Structure 1
Amino acid sequence: MLSPKDLEQIERKGISEQQIKKELEEFKTGFPFLKLDAAASIGNGIIATSAEDVKRYTEAWNAYKAEGKKIVKFVPASGAASRMFKNMFAFLTADYDVPTTDFEKTFFDNVVKFAFYPALNAMCEKNEGKNIEALMGEGNYKAVVANLLEAKGLNYGQLPKGLLLFHSYEDGARTPLEEHLVEGALYADSKGMVHIHYTVSPEHRALFEKKVADTKEKYEKAYNVKYDITFSEQKPSTDTIAVNPDDTPFRNADGSLLFRPGGHGALIENLNEIPADVVFIKNIDNVVPDRLKADTVTYKQVIAGVLISLQEKAFEYLRLLDEGTYNHEKLEEMIRFVQRDLCCRKHDIKELEDAELVIYLRSKLNRPMRVCGVVKNVGEPGGGPFLTYNQDGTVSLQILESSQIDKSNTEYMKMFTEGTHFNPVDLVCAVKNYKGEKFNLPDYVDRTTGFISSKSKNGKDLKALELPGLWNGAMSNWNTVFVEVPLSTFNPVKTVNDLLREQHQ
């Protein structure tokens, strides 16, 4: 099935033949659905913090920062903004010329409220000889949209989301990239140094680097910090092979194999190369203007405080286990910590002899740890927090996407639809062991949690393989803890009109 030419192509990408054969087999067999125990809820996997807890965890985090540990803010930022403008692209090619759908009417009725309005207005004057108001006045709405989306104008249809103007300020509009610089200074600094890492697509990297070069000094002065900004791209070796509907390799017009990016799960490799003690992870578009940042800053410190408090306890127990300085009572205490605080449960744990128990406890304590902020479910799309069975029979907390759940199982679907919370990609991670050595993060991926999606290329149907998602299966074998955070900390921008929400004005 694979020719010598195919094998050469595979080798150039840094992928093994064995990996390709495994992927081709996965297309045929599919991936198993996960076995669920329950949707996580307050008191059953989700921590609700009191005002006293908030104070305590914030103090714990600030004490930790004062030690000079390396803290990194990791921002997946490779997504193009094209999906944000799907409705406006449709308007450009529609057989009518005036706003007709509710979406189009909302956009034009409020166009002056967008942070990019001044830049768009200037572009219309330059290219059309008229400002937005004049163009709309004569019914030439499509010229306004063309100047927003096309290369002759702002080119927003092709730019990454991180470089669009999101929020207005007196001294000019800010992009999400800049809002993350500000956030980093407010909760992720360590002795005045702020490390931020953006994962970007190769075609946009130079644009990101230029934006950082143009704005870094401004924010360093404003917040009295120094920035260390780094970038990485998804590795070609994490691309996955595409197949035809009959599971044979899909080929390009020139006969070569078609590979596709393996989804955000591929970023576990990028995360693995970050030299840090603690890493915050947050999507590029989940930002708010300064006037609304207080809750975000407070609860980032809270989830980080929870993380380092739990890590400290886990490290203490690991030292005792490695030194052999424990008794049965201490082992009972460790069991309570693993089961209650880390929410990792083993139904037959009482049947283990002390020697077996030590091996089990060490395996569960000595692994990466993450604390995830979860918000009350208000019907937004996103992963849900669940208690899920693992390969070893234990039950632990996981973030699941709907694709991982057997929709024919009425009990599971009830859990999914009636779940009280969902996860807006608000994570803080501890990625070193108690000896200060980095965990090798790919070792903790559950490889059986990928999924297959239907796509097309040049009008031909194909099947694509998505790797286990970054905050889903790629972190399946981490210690996971959920903390309820306010809905005000979750403000994604999925469509351009989301920028008209009060949270982005």
Structure 2
Amino acid sequence: MLSKQDLNQISARGISEEMVEHQLQDFKQGFPFLKIEAAAAIGNGIFKPTEEEVKKYVADWTDYLSSDHSVVKFVPASGAASRMFKDLFAFLSAPYDVPTTDFEKTFFDNIKKFAFKKALCAECKKNDGGCVCDLTKAGNYKVVVANLLEAKGLNYGQLPKGLLLFHQYEDGPRTPMEEHLVEAALYASTNGNANIHFTVSHDHLELFKKKVAEKIAYYEQKFGIKYNVSFSEQKPSTDTIAANPDNTPFRNEDGSLLFRPGGHGALIQNLNEIDADVVFVKNIDNVVPDRIKDETVLYKKLIAGILVDTQKQVFAYLRLLESGAYTDAQLEEMVSFLEGRLCCRKHDVKSLSREQLADYLRTKFSRPIRVCGVVKNVGEPGGGPFLCYNQDGTVSPQILESSQIDKNNAEYMEMFKNGTHFNPVDLVCATKDKNGNHYQLPDFVDKNTGFISSKSKNGKELKALELPGLWNGAMSNWNTIFVEVPIGTFNPVKTVNDLLREQHQ
């Protein structure tokens, strides 16, 4: 099936022939649905801290930052903003010339409220001889949109979200990239340093570097710290082969194999290369202006405090297990901690011998740890927190996407529909063992949690393979704690009109 030319193409991407064969097999077999015990809820998989507990864990984080630890803020930022402007692209190609849909009317009625308004005016004057207001008064609405989206103007239709102007301040507008620099200073800086890592697409790397070079001195002076900003790209070796509907390799017009990005799950490789004691993970578009940042900062410190407090206890238990000088009562205490704090349960744990129990605990504690903020479900699309069965028969917290759930299982669909919380991508991670050695994160991926979607290329239907997602299957075998955080900490920008929400003004 694969020719010598194919094998050369595969090798050039850093992918093995075995991996491609495995992916083609995945297309044929599909992926198994997960076995679910319950949707996580407060008291059953989700921790809701009291005011006193919030204070305690925030203090734990403050103490942790005062000692010699490395912290990195990891921001997936490779996505283009084209989907943000889907409705405006549709307007450009529509048979009418004035705003007609509710979305179009809302955009133009409020155009003065966007942080990019001044920059857009400058482009309109340069290219078409009038400001935004003049052009709209004359009925030239599409000219304004063209200056916003196309290369002759701001080119927002092709830029990454991280480089768009989101928020207006007295000293000028800010991009999401800058808002993440500010956040890093407020909750993730140690010893006068803030480390932040952006994953970006190859096409946008130089633009990001240029913007950081323009802005970094201002924020260093503002916060009295030094920033260490780094970048990585999604590796070609994490791309996946595309298939025809009959599961044979899809080929380009020149006969070469088609490879596609493997989804955000590929970023587990990028995360694996981050050398830090604690890593915050948060999406590029989930940022707010300074006036309402306090809540975000507080709860970031809270989940980080829970993380380092948990890790401290886990390491103490591992050292005790390593010593062999533990009592039966201490083993029972460890089981209670595993089931209570980490919500990892084994139904037949009482049937294990003393030695088997110690081995079981050692295995479960010897894993990366993540604390995930989850928010109350308000109908936003996205994955949710569940308690799921693992291949070893244990039950543990997992973030599930709808594609991982058997839609023919009425009980599971009811759980998904009525889940009380969802995943806003608000994680803090500890990726080192008790000796300070970095875990190899790909070892903790559940490879059975990818999924297959239908796409097309040049009018031809194809099947695309998504790797296990970064915060679901790629972290499936981590120790996980779900913590309820306020909905005010979740303010994503999915469409340009989301920037008109009160939280972004």
TM range (shorter): over 0.9
Structure 2 counterpart of 1:482, which letter? F
Structure 2 counterpart of 1:70, which letter? S
| Aligned match of 2:308 | 308
Structure 2 counterpart of 1:329, which letter? A
| Aligned match of 1:241 | 241
| Aligned match of 1:146 | 146
Name the SS for the 2:67 alignment partner. Answer: coil
Deviations 1:274-318 (A, max 9, x none): 000000000000000000100000000000000011110000000
Q: Distance in 2 between matches of 1:382 and 1:250?
A: 29
Q: Distance in 2 between matches of 1:311 and 1:401?
A: 27
Structure 1 counterpart of 2:79, which letter? G
Q: Distance in 1 between matches of 2:263 and 2:382?
A: 15
Name the SS for the 1:316 alignment partner. Answer: helix
| Aligned match of 1:393 | 393
Q: Distance in 1 between matches of 2:377 and 2:4?
A: 51
Q: Distance in 2 between matches of 1:191 and 1:247?
A: 54
Q: How is 1:313-352 mapped onto 2 (pairs within 5 angstroms)?
A: 313-352=313-352
Q: Distance in 2 between matches of 1:489 and 1:409?
A: 33
Gaps of 5+ in 2: none
| Aligned match of 2:211 | 211
| Aligned match of 1:66 | 66
Q: CA deviation at 1:68?
A: 2.1
The reply on whether 1:482 has 2:482 as its aligned counterpart is yes
Deviations 1:443-472 (A, max 9, x none): 000000000001111111100000000000
Name the SS for the 2:244 alignment partner. Answer: coil
Name the SS for the 2:97 alignment partner. Answer: coil
- Structure 1: which 4+ aligned runs deviate by more than 6 Å? none
Deviations 1:23-56 (A, max 9, x none): 0010000000000000000000101111111110
Q: How is 1:366-445 mapped onto 2 (pairs within 5 angstroms)?
A: 366-445=366-445
Q: Distance in 2 between matches of 1:483 and 1:186?
A: 21
| Aligned match of 2:165 | 165
Structure 2 counterpart of 1:205, which letter? L
Name the SS for the 1:279 alignment partner. Answer: strand
The reply on whether 1:25 has 2:33 as its aligned counterpart is no
Q: How is 1:244-283 mapped onto 2 (pairs within 5 angstroms)?
A: 244-283=244-283
Q: How is 1:87-126 mapped onto 2 (pairs within 5 angstroms)?
A: 87-126=87-126
Q: Distance in 1 between matches of 2:153 and 2:434?
A: 53
Q: Distance in 2 between matches of 1:114 and 1:481?
A: 38
Q: Distance in 2 between matches of 1:493 and 1:325?
A: 53
Q: Distance in 1 between matches of 2:364 and 2:320?
A: 15
| Aligned match of 2:83 | 83
Deviations 1:424-457 (A, max 9, x none): 0000000000111100000000000000001111
Q: Distance in 1 between matches of 2:169 and 2:122?
A: 18
Name the SS for the 1:173 alignment partner. Answer: strand
Q: Distance in 1 between matches of 2:113 and 2:99?
A: 17
Q: CA deviation at 1:325?
A: 1.6
Q: Distance in 2 between matches of 1:458 and 1:231?
A: 32
Q: Distance in 2 between matches of 1:215 and 1:50?
A: 39
Q: Distance in 1 between matches of 2:284 and 2:54?
A: 25
Name the SS for the 1:194 alignment partner. Answer: strand
Structure 2 counterpart of 1:323, which letter? S
Structure 1 counterpart of 2:37, which letter? D
Q: Distance in 2 between matches of 1:399 and 1:288?
A: 24
| Aligned match of 1:37 | 37
| Aligned match of 2:225 | 225
Q: CA deviation at 1:350?
A: 0.1
Structure 2 counterpart of 1:45, which letter? G
Q: Distance in 2 between matches of 1:358 and 1:190?
A: 36
Structure 2 counterpart of 1:429, which letter? C
Name the SS for the 2:228 alignment partner. Answer: strand
| Aligned match of 1:297 | 297
Q: Distance in 1 between matches of 2:140 and 2:324?
A: 78
| Aligned match of 1:493 | 493
Q: Distance in 2 between matches of 1:64 and 1:340?
A: 24
Q: Distance in 2 between matches of 1:24 and 1:358?
A: 40
Structure 1 counterpart of 2:410, which letter? T
Deviations 1:226-256 (A, max 9, x none): 0000000001100000001111100011100
| Aligned match of 1:446 | 446
Percentage of identical aligned residues: 70
Deviations 1:159-204 (A, max 9, x none): 0000000000000000000000000000000111100000000000
Deviations 1:388-438 (A, max 9, x none): 000100000000000000011010011000000001000000000011110
Q: Distance in 2 between matches of 1:135 and 1:256?
A: 47
Structure 1 counterpart of 2:272, which letter? N
Structure 2 counterpart of 1:201, which letter? S
Structure 1 counterpart of 2:73, which letter? K
Q: Distance in 1 between matches of 2:71 and 2:321?
A: 28
| Aligned match of 2:287 | 287
Cα RMSD of the aligned pairs, angstroms, is 0.4
Structure 2 counterpart of 1:3, which letter? S
Q: Distance in 2 between matches of 1:156 and 1:130?
A: 20
Q: CA deviation at 1:120?
A: 0.2
Name the SS for the 1:325 alignment partner. Answer: coil
Q: How is 1:185-196 mapped onto 2 (pairs within 5 angstroms)?
A: 185-196=185-196
Name the SS for the 1:438 alignment partner. Answer: coil
Q: CA deviation at 1:382?
A: 1.2
| Aligned match of 1:5 | 5
Q: Distance in 2 between matches of 1:221 and 1:325?
A: 52
Gaps of 5+ in 1: none
Structure 2 counterpart of 1:291, which letter? R
| Aligned match of 2:358 | 358
Q: Distance in 2 between matches of 1:351 and 1:208?
A: 56
Structure 2 counterpart of 1:241, which letter? I
Q: TM-score scaled by structure 2? A: 1.00
Q: Number of residues paired by the alignment?
A: 505
Structure 1 counterpart of 2:466, which letter? E
